Structure 1
């Protein structure tokens, strides 16, 4: 029986058609403004608003996988030691003074280095761009100040890029700019959350469905089968009766509840188990991990983790992810802080902290470095935050007798095994 005929017979609704465009005028039980046709069937039952949620940075961070990825990566990059160096005949030397204070200690009067860089990387891994203004004085670099990427616009003036923020314009030479990925125009960018919006939408929808399902006591939406009452008021009373029965059964923890004779309740849709909700939610973690090229183990997904491959994922994380983003910031800071022609000064992260390993592995590595003249004992002590000893500990050593480098071929005067002579050469008694 056609839907039109069913409602005409049970509710006395009238249906009219025109010969020209076959337009129909129908009146429904609940909403007279919604025509009951095949394409509007779900709207008749109040399901016309079934859409995936809109994705913004704020609601994307409510997905645990997105939150974990952004928080973990931003904190890791912020925790890396960052110093300024100057080339010399003896090799790289740390720069002291105001420049080191700005880069390593506190970029400005309101933020320390960790807080500033954590904020910076959070903008990169959410909206897709991190910006900071370089304050200069005649004496040099004075401070680095954050610029809200959502309130900054970019434009080209000739061949130069200009940043407009807070009513002012800043030349690109004074702005540190690290985009997640640039668009072909070279100005606009792609953001990870916007590009992964479909995967995040599914994760949000599953979160909402799961919370609504369990908030309702695990009872899925139900469809009432049987002779439907005529009129909106009668239908509302029938729905209210069924709802009271379901709520009463949930409150009393009873598995059975009565319904009127001649009616049947049928679940609408699938329950979480049949819909493979657990598997789907785990897959969304993998999808979001792909967005950031982040090994799943760092998002607390240990499904396929073993003792051996977790360590390899750790190396992958440093070599193919953190190392790349560290290089992106270093290159931008070296260009904007010191200029294109600079070759003597530079900033650099120290990635050794991410590869420290356990105590025994660290000590073995230190011993190998000292015995092969790679590090001095004092350099190793500084890595462990121990005070320098000076003297021989400042020199490179080589394995053998583990003596200072350059002294390994020095031969001491041999001493006889049975020397019984006194100092004057006579035989001792």
Structure 2
């Protein structure tokens, strides 16, 4: 003990220091270190279909794909010795116009594809009406149980069981048991959950007038609890009044300061996060982001090429899946040369100038007949019958088959013509 301590009557105190600064009550493992600071590092919550459709990018993708595929004409054909012949009558009307007494072909197929890109499976019951007549009825895939009984697949909907050969089934992605499916909502659960979290954050931010979280601090002199509460109430009132009046300026209690402790959307990379979510949703559905409304990589020069990419790598594949199901379930395995096929020409038509030039080139090279070109433009055939023939330019002939020149007396090719004599 020092002399000063003895004079002041102080008692000796023993200083105790901890061997380590670690607090045993605070977890410092990699798993829960961030949780100590209030950051949730657990799995993202599961997103339902209704919640997923509240994300504008996903809803836009589902609407675009379902409408585009439903808009494709679906025709029935029969193979003949002269080539494919389009079927008419009730088969054509059922497939491409009115599948039953309640649904149009467009509305039924739009609902069907909406189920594929949300639930993960589209189902249509083929009702046999006798002979070659049939009707198509949509089933709610979310309420349909798919099972295998005695080795055969069955579909149970609203208490009725249908065999597999009566149900058109196009899954988004089959699971290992070949019965259940993986839908795009489940596959894109994390991006959709992030999108919903960003929407909630942005909504809360702008709902509060665009003011980030603030901290009210005192000046050089400390303030008591009651004074701090009064200052908080005054500050809340000032901010609310500024928001209500649209003012960008509000007073601060004397002797206090406001400091920002939150992040505004620009610092939180909200815009970049939204763009990333759009790209992830487009990636799950395998579609170009430009068709989900993201024009970051879309220009006037590559628009037509993106249309071709959409048809080649997306629409054509899903159209093929539905065609084969229709062929198997409607026309059966022994379909006697009958089959269904979508017409993709309407999507890849391009500009009028490009179409006319392509038709002219095809007609002049003998690849298509004029009536066939007119049919592609929904125009009637030539009544004279000349449009039902193949043509080729007269100047284009096989090598060595050029016609011999014919001369006429006194003509330009006549050697006796004085105009053909050389000058003296």
Q: TM-score, normalised by structure 1?
A: 0.78
Match of 1:67 among 59, 67, 73: 59
C-alpha contact 1:52 1:205 (8 A) present in aligned 2: no
**Could you tell me which residue of structure 2 aligns to residue 191 of structure 1?**
183
- The residue matched to 2:347 in structure 1 has which SS? helix
Match of 2:347 among 354, 359, 366: 354
Q: CA deviation at 1:96?
A: 1.5
Match of 1:398 among 392, 397, 407: 392
Q: Distance in 1 between matches of 2:311 and 2:319?
A: 10
C-alpha contact 2:304 2:350 (8 A) present in aligned 1: no
**Could you tell me which residue of structure 2 aligns to residue 55 of structure 1?**
47
Match of 1:142 among 106, 110, 134: 134
**Could you tell me which residue of structure 1 aligns to residue 356 of structure 2?**
363
Q: Distance in 2 between matches of 1:54 and 1:225?
A: 40
Q: CA deviation at 1:400?
A: 2.3
Q: How does 1:26-425 map to 2 (within 5 A)?
A: 54-225=46-217, 239-390=232-383, 391-400=385-394
C-alpha contact 2:195 2:277 (8 A) present in aligned 1: yes
- The residue matched to 1:136 in structure 2 has which SS? strand
C-alpha contact 2:129 2:135 (8 A) present in aligned 1: no
Q: CA deviation at 1:235?
A: 8.3
| Structure of greater Rg | 2
Change (3 A) 1:52 1:181: closer
Q: CA deviation at 1:194?
A: 1.5
Change (3 A) 1:236 1:143: farther
Q: Distance in 1 between matches of 2:312 and 2:37?
A: 54
C-alpha contact 1:65 1:299 (8 A) present in aligned 2: yes
Structure 2: which 5+ residue stretches go unaligned?
Answer: 1-23, 26-33, 412-424
Q: Distance in 2 between matches of 1:169 and 1:235?
A: 70
Q: Distance in 2 between matches of 1:341 and 1:235?
A: 86
Q: CA deviation at 1:369?
A: 1.7
**Which whole-Å deviations, capped at 9, do the CAs of 1:4-45 have from their partners, x for residues lacking one?**
xxxxxxxxxxxxxxxxxx99xxxxxxxxxxxxxx96875xxx
Indicate the RMSD between aligned Cα atoms, in angstroms.
Answer: 3.2
Q: CA deviation at 1:364?
A: 0.7
The count of aligned residue pairs is 372
C-alpha contact 2:231 2:253 (8 A) present in aligned 1: no
